[in-house]
Amino acid sequence: MGADELSATLWRERRQLELLLYRLETQLLHVRAGNWHWLKFTAADVEKVLENLRFDTLARNIESSAVAIEWRLSANATLPLIASVAPPVIWPELLQEHHRELVSVLKQVETTAAANVEALQMGLQGAGNPPLGSAQPGDAAPAAPGAVACADTVDDVMLLAENANIERALAVTRDCSLPLLKEFLGLD
């Protein structure tokens, strides 16, 4: 273990964070377009990236602890502290670059996640309201006595599925806070 492994782990974490940002931006586009049926996929994509980030966080904690101890710091040293005591030549600059990029992408993730939460909450409040110009109950006589009941049941099921998709996407998006990364970056 050493600085090489820490740097490689930070690269992987940066890529996963960028992928999370991409997945959140994709979800936000679908939410704003009213494509509620795609939320089951976008939420699963965000969930998968968060799962990968958890593994990368564990790997980074192991690598950073080893480097911190090697460089005579406490095992839970932050990245700025590790960079400040890094041996001269490449390590201080490289670790500071990792820090800058991770902070930048993390802020973008937080902003995009907040926009997602806001849009999803608005979608949840608006779910179930019929689109403008659509038929309202009682507008026209049904063709057959059972037709209304069947149509209402289908509409209710669709509404429940839409609400479930929005709720799941909302729960997954709220899970994007990444407190361990913030702590490691010295942001808390």
Tens of pLDDT along 130-156? Answer: 443 344 444 444 444 455 555 567 666
**pLDDT at residue number 142:** 44
Least trusted range by pLDDT, from 37-41, 61-65, 129-133: 129-133
Which residues are CB-neighbours of 63 under 8 A, at least 6 positions away?
1, 5, 6, 9
Buried b (16+ CB within 10 A) or exposed e, 60-92: beebbbbbbeebebeeebbbeebbeebeeeebe
| pLDDT, the chain, mean | 86
**Residue-level pLDDT at 156:** 65
Average pLDDT over every residue of 48-72: 96
Higher pLDDT, 45 or 188: 45
pLDDT of residue 118: 95
pLDDT at 58 over 70: yes
Q: What angle do CA 7, 60, 16 make, to 5 degrees?
A: 80
- pLDDT range class, residue 89, cuts 50, 70, 90: confident
For residues 3 and 88, give the distance between their C-alpha atoms in angstroms, rounded to a whole number.
12
pLDDT at 131: 40
C-alpha 37/C-alpha 76 separation (Å) is 43
Distances (CA, A) of 62 to 56, 132, 158: 10, 55, 46
Q: Greater confidence, 144 or 1?
A: 1
Is pLDDT larger for residue 142 or for residue 120? 120
Q: Can you tell me the mean pLDDT for 150-178?
A: 79
Rounded to whole angstroms, how far apart are CA atoms 74 and 69?
A: 6
Q: What percentage of the chain exceeds 70 in pLDDT? A: 82
Mean pLDDT of the 36-47 span: 94
Q: Which residue has the higher pLDDT, 160 or 69?
A: 69
Query: For the whole model, what pTM was predicted?
Result: 0.82
